[in-house]
């Protein structure tokens, strides 16, 4: 485990796209290994299996940019995914060494028109919120429709069984003696 390293291949930003590419090496030869990219400024995580030619992350800067117009991306070995590949318990000391292998990509941005950046951030936040609200409203409507259909089926089943009373009430309408004739619905 000591010979596994994580090396940067490309750390660049063109226009509003951040390109962060790394390669996992074992004894200076590329290997396939699970890697996790995440942002320290915003809640953003991307996991993937790194191929021999390397793996990367291309993301819009608005998805990883913080309030102070900077981003801080990190790449590390995804030990949680790696542990799933083994059917037996491994020593935690082995994974501690892998957890130390990480690469950082940090850059501060100077907005040319700060008002526009704030508007873009706010617009992106509102779009995410409206998508989430639309999804929740649709789920609520589907759940309500399902409950109403279930209630309709229950009522329809009940009407077939209990359509008319089993007691003949015609003798009560005549004067004189009272005879109850019971009908059994078998």
Q: Give the tokens for residue 64.
A: 């990883």
pLDDT per position as a tens digit, 116-164 = 666 777 788 888 888 889 999 999 999 999 998 988 888 777 666 655 5
**pLDDT exceeds 80 at position 107:** no
- Give the model's pLDDT for residue 50: 87
| DSSP letter assigned to residue 162 | S
pLDDT tens, position by position, 14-42: 877 888 888 888 888 888 888 898 888 77
Q: Per-residue confidence at 2, pLDDT binned at 50, 70, 90?
A: low
Question: Where do the H-state alpha helices sit in the chain?
Answer: 61-64, 79-84, 92-99, 114-161, 170-173
pLDDT of 172: 59
Domain ranges of the chain: 4-110, 112-162
Per-residue confidence band for 170, with pLDDT thresholds at 50, 70 and 90 = low
Q: Which residues contact 50 (CB under 8 A, 6 or more apart)?
A: 22, 23, 24, 32, 33, 34, 35
State how far the Cα of 74 lies from the Cα of 79, in Å rounded to an integer. Answer: 15
Give the per-residue pLDDT at 162.
56
CATH architecture group of domain 4-110? Sandwich (2.60)
156: tokens are: 């329809």
Give pLDDT tens digits for 44-90.
Answer: 888 888 888 888 888 888 888 877 777 888 888 887 887 777 766 66
pLDDT of residue 169: 63
What's the pLDDT score for residue 143?
Answer: 92
């Amino acid at each position: 485990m000591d010979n596994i390293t994580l090396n940067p291949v490309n750390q660049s930003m063109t226009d509003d796209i951040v390109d962060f590419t790394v390669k996992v090496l074992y004894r200076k030869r590329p290997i396939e290994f699970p890697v996790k990219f995440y942002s320290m400024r915003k809640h953003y995580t991307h996991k993937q299996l790194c191929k021999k030619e390397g793996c990367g992350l291309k993301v819009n800067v608005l998805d990883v940019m913080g309030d102070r117009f900077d981003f801080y991306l990190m790449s590390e070995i995804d030990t949680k995914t790696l542990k799933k590949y083994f059917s037996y318990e491994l020593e935690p000391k082995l994974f501690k060494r892998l957890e130390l292998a990480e690469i950082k990509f940090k850059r501060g941005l100077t907005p040319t028109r700060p008002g526009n950046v704030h508007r873009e951030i706010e617009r992106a936040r509102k779009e995410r919120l409206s998508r989430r609200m639309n999804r929740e409203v649709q789920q609520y409507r589907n759940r309500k429709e399902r409950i109403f259909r279930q209630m309709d089926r229950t009522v329809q089943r009940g009407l077939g069984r209990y359509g008319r009373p089993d007691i003949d009430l015609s003798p009560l309408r005549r004067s004189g003696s009272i005879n109850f004739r019971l009908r059994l619905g078998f």
